[in-house]
Amino acid sequence: MSLKILLAALAYIIPTMPYAYVWHMVWFKKKYERWQYFGGDASVPLGFTSMIIQGIVLSFAYAILPIEHNSFVNCMYFTGILGIFFWSSHVVAAMAKHGQTRTKGYLILETIYLIGQFGMFDLLLNAVYVFA
């Protein structure tokens, strides 16, 4: 694995873990419990495992794209497109499957969360390819 792929994976994993934990389990825990977001029994280790897998997959995906990797615009397209994909498979899918999450509050909160998550990843991924 190249250094840039490793750094890109870490650029996703390291900020996403505390951000996701604090957002869902501290700042807005009562709202997520009301929406039954955790299904009654959240597993933080499994959540962190999913973020590790996501970071590795996203870093490989960016590395193999036939584009100029140190372009801020290309990085924004990549993280924007994947952010929308995550939003559709995470937020919209949850709303489709669970009536408790079918609220304007859930839609707004999770949308803001994912904008923050992929915004951070965009800036750090770009830094990896420009400065590393």
The answer, yes or no, to whether residue 42 has pLDDT greater than 90, is no
Residue ranges covered by each domain of the chain: 3-131
Q: What is the DSSP letter of 66?
A: S
Confidence of residue 30 (pLDDT cuts 50, 70, 90): very high
Query: How do residues 64-88 score in pLDDT, each as one tens digit?
Result: 999 999 899 999 999 999 999 999 9
Query: How do residues 95-132 score in pLDDT, each as one tens digit?
Result: 999 899 999 999 999 999 999 999 999 999 999 999 98
